[in-house]
Each structure stands twice: as structure tokens, then as C-alpha cells.
Structure 1
Amino acid sequence: MPILRSSPPSPFGRKVKIAAAVLGLSDRITVEMTDTKDPHDTIRQQNPLGKIPALVLDDGRVLFDSSVIVDYLDHLAGGGKIIPAGPARHDALRLQALADGIMDAALLQVYETRFRPEDKRHPEWLAYQADKVARGLASLEADLPAPVTPDATPNVGQIAVACMLGYLDLRFDGAWRASHPKLVDWLAAFETAVPAFDTTRPPAA
């Protein structure tokens, strides 16, 4: 059985877990806790970058990063499920890229404050990453992703946006909500339509 190396707070790992759930594949994957800070954790051999998520296949091959893994899961489920075919494909992939980019910028802010002593932090760098998040959220507020309904399978872009917003709730106390009411409503609808969003919710920091 494939092994998903991840940790509960990872928004990218959450994206993979939600994808597996909506594709009906959760029971075909074992999730294994991973500590990327531990030099003895085997993640550094499984993924030379030492990053999560990584999916260890039965034949020993390892897939990373999350966009590759969700593509593999979609293929495993028959294709065209969370990565649409035809013209909608690149719209979904573009939305995923935007959400992933916002997550990357948010993670870099967290790492700057977590791993650097306060006197060595770089305010301009933090502001640079925060501006990426702000621009990305403004773009999504102005051009909302299509709503997710209980009778439809969300695409990778919608899943990524939900995980990104969930990560901002986790690490930035939901500060995004005050200025983005349409996204707040969009996420509430996603949570109602996709039970896996709740079951993959990370513990409070």
C-alpha cells in the first residue's frame, strides 16, 4: 500500500489527503507522520529535497510534490475526476498554481519567524511574501473559483484554494477573513460539500 509522508499542519499534505478522499482512495493509502526537521527521518532519502508530501509507491518509487501526487491519484481513479479534461483542465491547474503559490509565500513567512532569531529577521522579506499573499487573495476575491456543491467532485484548484485558506486560518489567525467576505462564504460552502475538509483539519497551533 502506498505511503503518504506528511504531517497534519501541512496544507500541501492536506491537499493530497482531500484529493484521495474525494476520489475514494483514502483506504488505499497509509499516512505516515514525518518530521522534516529531523535529520534521521527517512524523508531525506525518499525525497532529496526533504519536503512533504511525498508518496512512496509499492515499487519503491517516490512521487513529489503535491501537484504530481494529486495528478497520480486522479490517474489511479480513472482520470478526469479532479483534473478535468478539455478546456477546463488548465483553468483548474492555474487555480491550483495560484493557491499553491500563496501557500508557499505563507509558509516562508512562518519559517522566517520560526527559524530565525528576532534580531536576524528580514522585515522586507516578510513584507515581500505577505504582499504575494495579499495580491493572491485579492485576485481570488475578485474572481471567485466556481462554488463546490455536494453533488459534484471538486477539482484540484478548488481543493488547493480551500487548503490554502485553511492554512491561513491555522497560522495567521484567520486575518484574511475580514477583507474577503466572498472567499469566506466560498470556503463555508466548500466545507459543507466536502466532508474531508473537516476530517483533515489540523489541530490548533
Structure 2
Amino acid sequence: MLLRFSPTSPFVRKVRLAAAILGQTLDIEPADTQDPSDSLRRQNPLGKVPALLTDDGEVLFDSPVILAYLDHMAGGDRILPAEPRARIAAVRLEALADGLMDAGILVLYEARFRPAERHEPKWLDYQAQKMTRALDALEAATPMGDGPITVGEIALGCALGWLDFRFEGKWREGRPGLVAWYEAFALRCPGFEASKPVA
């Protein structure tokens, strides 16, 4: 399996961690999402990473689909629980963490793609409020962190690590429960330290 990747993408990190947890080997190939000639745009019409090229010629995207596929290839019920209530809890947490990353990326892109004099304060505030609400909800209902690692915990660990990387860890202030969960997760998740994004 070949993973098209960007080294700083938190969604790519989700896939790399899932593979590490499941004991799977992925070949990796960098992708330039800004380059119209990169084959990524033919592999994934959205032009986004991660994209996983499977051994039977399919291209899978985006990260929740890829994690579900990796779980299936590992026999199922590993990172994506089979029991319905546990499964819903895991994918709900994944959706919240993914949404947190999406909002953060939109804030980052506003600065990256528009000059400062054209920034839209209402838009930035709208995204920042999403992030604050998500973090506060996670602090109020921090995952237990005492069972098998799920897709939800993988996504949350990647989201918080990415916020450390891009937003100087400001999420930590006033959220001791979430900080404790994150620090414990970093120790129990295979490949977590090795997959940290670097500038």
C-alpha cells in the first residue's frame, strides 16, 4: 500500500499511527497539493492528502475511510470497534477531532493564502470559536484512555499534537484533563513520537 502524504498533515499522521498500531507497513510518497501537475489530483479528485493506493489498485480518501480500511485489513475490531455503541463513540470522537483540525487548518490557510489586510476577522473568529467549543467539550468529557486505542483517540491525539505544532500549544491553558490524556496517549500510542510533524 502506498500513502501519498505531506509531513505536517495531521490527517496523514492519523493514517501513519493507525498503521503503526495495527502492525502494517505503508510505503510513502510525498505529494504537493499546490502543484497542478502532481499525480495526486488524478488519484484523489479533491487534491488532498492522505490518499492511500491499495494493493488492488483502489485509491482511498480521506482519513476516516482509510482508517476503516486499515482496520478491515487487520481483521476488524481493532481500532474501529465492532460493538455498535463503542463504534459510534469512536467515530463521534473522530468526527469532533477532525472538525477541530479542519477549523484550525482554515485559520492557518487564511494567513497563508491571503494578505493580512484582506483577512476576514469574522471568519477567523468563527473558526476560532469552533475550536474553543470542541476543546471545551473534550475537556468536559475526556476519553477514558484505558482500553484499546480507537480511531477517535488517534484523531484526537493528532489534533492536539498539531495544535501544539501550529498554535504553540495554546489549547492546553485551563484544560488539565485533556493535557493529562494527551500526555498519557503519547506514551501508549506506537509511533507517536516518531510521527511528530516538523517544520
Task: Indicate the residue corresponding to 1:51 in structure 2.
Answer: 48
Give the aligned residue type for 1:187: Y
2:124 counterpart SS class: helix
Separation of aligned partners in 2, 1:202 and 1:82: 22
CA positional deviation for 1:59: 2.8
CA positional deviation for 1:126: 0.5
CA RMSD of aligned residues (A): 0.9
Is 1:99–1:161's contact at 8 Å kept on the other side of the alignment?
yes
CA positional deviation for 1:38: 1.1
CA positional deviation for 1:170: 0.6
Task: Indicate the residue corresponding to 1:18 in structure 2.
Answer: 17
CA positional deviation for 1:22: 0.2
Match of 2:82 among 81, 85, 90: 85
Task: Indicate the residue corresponding to 1:62 in structure 2.
Answer: 59
Is 1:9–1:202's contact at 8 Å kept on the other side of the alignment?
yes
Separation of aligned partners in 2, 1:130 and 1:19: 28
1:55 counterpart SS class: strand
The answer as to 2:105 corresponding to 1:107 is yes
Match of 1:162 among 157, 162, 165: 157
CA positional deviation for 1:69: 0.2
Task: Indicate the residue corresponding to 1:36 in structure 2.
Answer: 33
Match of 1:140 among 123, 138, 156: 138
Give the aligned residue type for 1:71: A
Give the aligned residue type for 1:193: R
CA positional deviation for 1:146: 1.6
Cα deviation digits, residues 106-140 of structure 1 (max 9, x gap): 00000000110111111110000010000000000
Give the aligned residue type for 1:146: M
1:202 counterpart SS class: coil
Equivalent residue runs for 1:125-204 within 5 Å: 125-148=123-146, 152-203=147-198
Give the aligned residue type for 1:172: F
Instruction: Name the count of aligned residue pairs.
Output: 198
CA positional deviation for 1:153: 3.0
The runs of 5 or more residues in structure 1 that have no matched partner are: none
Separation of aligned partners in 2, 1:31 and 1:89: 29
Separation of aligned partners in 2, 1:8 and 1:181: 29
CA positional deviation for 1:147: 1.3
Is 1:5–1:54's contact at 8 Å kept on the other side of the alignment?
yes
Is 1:92–1:157's contact at 8 Å kept on the other side of the alignment?
yes
Separation of aligned partners in 2, 1:23 and 1:188: 21
TM-score by length of 1: 0.94
Give the aligned residue type for 1:62: V
Percentage of pairs with the same residue: 55
Task: Indicate the residue corresponding to 2:117 in structure 1.
Answer: 119
